[in-house]
Amino acid sequence: MNIRLQAAIALAAIGFSTVAITHEARACGLTSGSTSAALHWSMPAYMPGSRTATARAGQSASPNEMQLRAPITGLYHFTQIAEGNGPSGPPDGALIDQGFQTWHADGTELMNSGVRNPPSGNFCMGVWAKTGPRAYELNHYALAWDPTGTVFVGPANIRENVTLSSNGNSMSGSFEITQYAPDGSTIVAHVQGDVAGTRITVDSN
């Protein structure tokens, strides 16, 4: 299959034209389709009367030793919001993705997309490095499939540059996602914006 045909399949699968990016772009990888209920989920409410909450009443958890060595380490609830994509891209403020992201102390990272159904590839992985005081760079790759999980759209590269807050409870910065055709070199879509994450701990509400 030649590159042009592969790109056409990828474009059809993810709902992009060569001149426009849908306002419903989604990551890990960029796809489109009908609005899903997954776009409207929120963090579950804390249940202060639960058995585990009662058992932990009055207790305070200690920071993980690895987090002391690599402060970014941990689990976050993240959001990616479109910003600066121009008239052909998603509008500023559009939700691109939200979900859960884990930064591991060994320099690897795992993301669980909350707007992609599992057959389309909602788990993806990356590597990170510290670039300055509380500053980190992420290089992340995903294998994107169409919503049915039967057509391979191609690899997607997600880049983030984030800064950890002084108290270590949140991060914020910028992201960009480049979606490639199955050949791994033909770019079929690109989106950028702001990323933010709130740390989840055993004491989180």
Of 2, 1, 8, 5, give the one whose Cα is nearest residue 188: 8
Using pLDDT thresholds of 50, 70 and 90, give the confidence band for residue 58.
low
Which H helix or E strand runs over 3?
helix 3-14
What pTM was estimated for this model as a whole? 0.74
* Residue 161 within any structural domain of the chain: yes
* Residue 56 within any structural domain of the chain: no
Query: CATH code at 186?
Result: 2.40.128.120
Instruction: Give the whole-angstrom CA distance, residue 37 versus residue 40.
Output: 6
* Residue 28 within any structural domain of the chain: yes
* Residue 49 within any structural domain of the chain: no
* Residue 83 within any structural domain of the chain: yes
Instruction: Give the whole-angstrom CA distance, residue 113 versus residue 38.
Output: 10
* Residue 52 within any structural domain of the chain: no
The 10s digit of each residue's pLDDT in 102-157 is 999 999 999 998 876 676 668 899 999 999 999 999 999 999 888 888 899 999 99
Residue 47 φ then ψ, to 5°? -110, 95
* Residue 45 within any structural domain of the chain: no
Of 125, 112, 198, give the one whose Cα is nearest residue 155: 125
**Count of domains for the chain:** 1
Does residue 96 have a pLDDT over 60?
yes
* Residue 55 within any structural domain of the chain: no
Domain that residue 15 falls in: 3-33+65-200
